[in-house]
Every structure is written in structure tokens, then in C-alpha cells.
Amino acid sequence: MPSSLSAALFELALANRIVANEGVLDAFGHVSMRHPDRPGRYLLSRSRSPELIGPGDLIEYDLDSRPLAEPGVPQYTERVIHGEIYKARSDVMAVCHHHSPAFMPLLATGTDYVPVFHLGSIGGMKPPFWDQHDEFGDTNMLVVKPEEGASLARALGPHWMVLMRRHGVTVAGSSLRECVYRTVNSHRNADFQVRAMLVGAITPLSPGETKLSAQNTGRTTGLSRAWEYWIMRLAKAGNLPPASKKKTAGKRAAKARARGARSKKRRA
């Protein structure tokens, strides 16, 4: 857990950019974390593409997904996914909702996710499916009502990942870094699984192998090595987030001033 709120905000911005840089998130999807000092609150960005998120974009919410202060910016409509999971699971410290292209063949066909290589064990053996239509009928497929988020949280149950039929995946973690690790490696596993199915019958890890391999995350340096590696890849891409909330806000103000100056020139 980061040592201060400012460090937590930076790490959450970093997490959003990492998951985007690794090909899991695009313009859509989001990563949140439980507030490091107030377990009855969580932090989530304003409505923005994850690859662009900085510390200044992050909003503090209560577990009913209401902002603690009016942010004055658009918010994610599916934030109840996060709030209802934090409400249901006190052990969850971070949540990622995504629409990974690697998962879509599984989600469209109702095919179980199974680990086909050791790092894929972090997603679990056959995590549960949730079909919004079963309980709510025809919808616009977005999880926007508290009762929809609560239904998804019930489907997640004690697991760390839930597959959303014809929609996406929601991943939880006991820490932000673990959530990112589970998100990226389950995405890779889904890609390998679908490609292997095109070649022939797959032989997944056994339940025992899945359990023991998943435990490596907390018992080896794998998690810290992966985090360091993903930060290096993000740095090479030139897309590390700004170092502070103040810098992000300052950049937005500078852009607004520049727009105003251009507008004045045109009027002149």
C-alpha cells in the first residue's frame, strides 16, 4: 500500500496507464482502488480514457458511488461496479473493469476461462459468469444501477474475477498491484487459450496446479518484477503520468488558457 494519499493517487494513475499500455484497456474500462485511509471510500478517475489519466483526474467516492464533492466533470456511468464490490467484499482493495479483446470469444460463447499456462492461474479455474439479461432483461448492457452492480458483486462472490456475458470482465485484487497483475496475466491467458483451441484440444492446469501457481504471486518476486517491467514499458512509450495532482490540474488550466487565447484571436 502506498505510504501517502498523493502516492496512492499517482499509483492509481499509473495502474490505469499500465493496463492500457498492455493492451487490455482502450478508450473504455477503468481501474479503481479503495481509499488507503478510509475503507468506506474509493478512488476512481473522472470519465476519461485510461491511457490519459493523471492524479488530478481522480475522484473520491463513497461506497454508494456518490462523489464526496461535486467534481464538475463527467463521471463514469459504470462506477457502481466498483462501489458495490467494495461494499460486498472488505478484502478487495482494487477493481478493474475491462473489455479485453482476448476475452471476447469466451464471453460471446459462454466458454469457461481455464489457465493454460502458469501465470494464467492468477485468474482462477473457471471463474463465474454473470449475464445481466438473466435478472434485468433487455438493457443497454451498461451496469449503471446500484442493483445491477450489487448483482454483479454477488456473482463475483469469493472469487477474484467475474466474466460478463457479451460485455467484459471485472477483476478484483487484495492490492492495486495484484489487481493489475491479475488483469494483465488473465488477458494473456485468454489470448493463449483461444488460440490453442484453434489448434486442438487444450490441456489446462489442474485445480491443484492452479491453486499452487496462483500462490506464487505473494511468495516470490514475480509481482514486483512485473510491476517494474510494466513501468519501464510505459516509460519507453513516453506515457508516464504527471507526478502530482497539481501538475495535472495545472496542465488542464494551461490548455484552457491557450484555448481562450486562440478564441480571442479569432474574434479579433
> Burial level of 252, CB count in 10 A (0-12/13-18/19+)?
middle
228 is catalytic: no
Distance CA 248, CA 253 (A): 9
Residue 248 has pLDDT above 50, yes or no: no
The mean-pLDDT minimum among 36-50, 73-87, 215-229 falls in: 215-229
The answer to whether residue 157 sits within a structural domain is: yes
Q: What is the residue range of 111's domain? A: 5-242
Query: Is the residue at 260 inside a domain?
Result: no
Q: Which three cell numbers stand for residue 217?
A: 504471486
Residue 247 has what pLDDT? Answer: 46
The answer to the question of residue 268 being in a domain is no
**Percent of the chain having pLDDT more than 70?**
90
The owner of cell 479503495 is: 34
Residue 1 confidence class, pLDDT cut points 50, 70, 90: low
Instruction: Report if residue 253 sits inside a domain.
Output: no
pLDDT at 216 (0 to 100): 87
pLDDT tens digits, one per residue of 91-147: 999 999 999 999 999 999 999 999 999 999 999 999 999 999 999 999 999 999 999
Please tell me the distance from the alpha carbon of residue 224 to that of residue 177, in angstroms, as a whole number.
8
Domain count for the chain: 1
129-130 and 161-164 beta bridge pairing: parallel
pTM for the model:
0.89
Point out the catalytic residue in the list 22, 51, 78, 178: 78
Is residue 30 within 8 Å of residue 44, measured between CB atoms?
yes
Domain membership flag for residue 191 = yes
Q: Is residue 259 part of a domain?
A: no
- Quick one: which of 56, 4, 3 has its CA closest to 242? 56
Eight-state DSSP code of residue 166: T
Helix-strand-coil split of the chain, %, nearest 5: 50, 15, 35
Three-state DSSP at 70 gives coil
Residue 93: CATH number of its domain: 3.40.225.10
Q: Does residue 249 sit within a domain?
A: no
pLDDT band of 2, cuts 50, 70, 90: low
